Structure 1
Amino acid sequence: MCLQTNRRKGDRIMSVPLIRTALPTDIQQISKIHKEQFGTHFLGKYSISLIEKFYLSFMQDTVFMVSETAGVINGFVLGGMNRDLELAKQRFLSANKRQYVAETLTTPGLYLPVIQRVSKNLTKSKEESVSPSKIPFRLLSISVSSHAKGRGVAEKLVQAFENEIASLTAYGLSVKKTNERAIGFYHKMGFEVEVEQPDCYYFVKKLG
C-alpha cells in the first residue's frame, strides 16, 4: 500500500495523491465516478445503488485500486483473471436479481438492450461464446473523475495496476471502436490490437 505525503508549494501544503487497494468504504465514490463518466453506457444507466452492489461483488480475487487525495477518490482501476471476473458478475446477478430486473423494466432505454443481449447470447454457438482474446488476465474497468482529469491519474493507475501484476507476461482489455479517446490512451500506454471485431478491439500489453 502506498503512503500519502504532503508537498509544500509556496505557503500551501499540497496533498499528493496516493494509489492503494480499494476498500468497501470507497464503493460509493467509485460508483459515482462510474455514473458520471459512463452514464450513457449500459451499467451507467442503472441506479447508484445497483452500481455500488456491482462493484462490491469485485472486492475479492481481483486487482482493485483507487487514486485518493485527502479522502477524495480521483479514479479507480479494476481487473483480474477472466474466470474470477465472470464469477464476480454471477455473484452480483444472483444476489441482486430482483433489483436488476425491476430497474431494467422501469428505466427508459434499458429493456431493449437487455433483451438484445440475452437474444444474442442464446443464439451464439459454443465457439462464439468464448472470448476471441487468448489473454487470461484483463483490465475490466478504469475511470477518472472529472475533477481529476488532466493530472495523469489514469496513467498512474495503469502503472500501479501493472506493478501489482508484474509476475504476468501480459494482460488485455476490450474497448468499443466508438471510444476513440480510450483507444488513443491505450495506444499511448503501449497496448497493441490483439483481435479486431466489428464493434470493438481486444488490446494486449506485454509486461517485462
Structure 2
Amino acid sequence: MSFLLSLSKFIDALNEKVGSLVSWALLAAVLICTGNAFVRYLLNTSSNAWLEIQWYLFSAIFLLATSYTLKRNEHVRIDVIAGRFSKRTQVWIDIFGFLVFLLPITLIILYYAIPYAWISFQAQEVSSNAGGLIVWPAKFLIPAGFMLLVLQGISELIKRIAFLQGKIDASAFEKHGTTPEEEIEAIKAANKLN
C-alpha cells in the first residue's frame, strides 16, 4: 500500500501542477478575448486565428482542469444524499462511483480520443476558416485531459481504500475549500452589510 500511496501523491502533485498552469491559460484567454473585443469594435477588424486561440485556451482549461477539480474534491457530487451517511459509507459510495462510472467512461473516451487526435496529427489538419490555425494540438487536449482524469481517478481510489484500511485520514481527500453551508452564511453576512 505504501507504493500505491506514493503513486497517489505523485499523481496529485502532477495534477496540482497542471491546475496551476491552467490558471495561466485562463488569464491568457481573458486577455485575448478582451483584446479581440476591442479590436473588433474599435478598429472594425478581426482575426480567425485569435478567435481560435480563445477556443484552444478554453478547451485546455476545461479538459485539463477536470483532474485538478477531482483532486480538490470540487466536482459535482450528491452531497445532499451522501452527506447524511457516515464517512465510511460516503467513501464506499465514492469507490462505487469511481469504479462503475468515472473510470469506465473516461477509459472509453480515451480509447476513442487517441485515434481521433492521431488521425488529425497525421493529416496535419488545419482549420477550415480563412487564416485559421492547425487543429491537431486542440484535439490532443482531449486524450491528455482524459488521461489526467483517469490518473486522478486511480489516485482517489487509492486514497479511499487506504482510508478504509486505516492507513490515512479522510483529510487526504476531503474538500479543502468552504462547505456550501459556509458559503451560504458568507452570502447572508454580505447581504446584511449592504
Q: Same fold (TM over 0.5)?
A: no
TM (norm. structure 1) is 0.22
TM (norm. structure 2) is 0.23
More helix by share: 2
Query: RCO higher in 1 or 2 (8 Å CA, sep ≥ 6)?
Result: 2
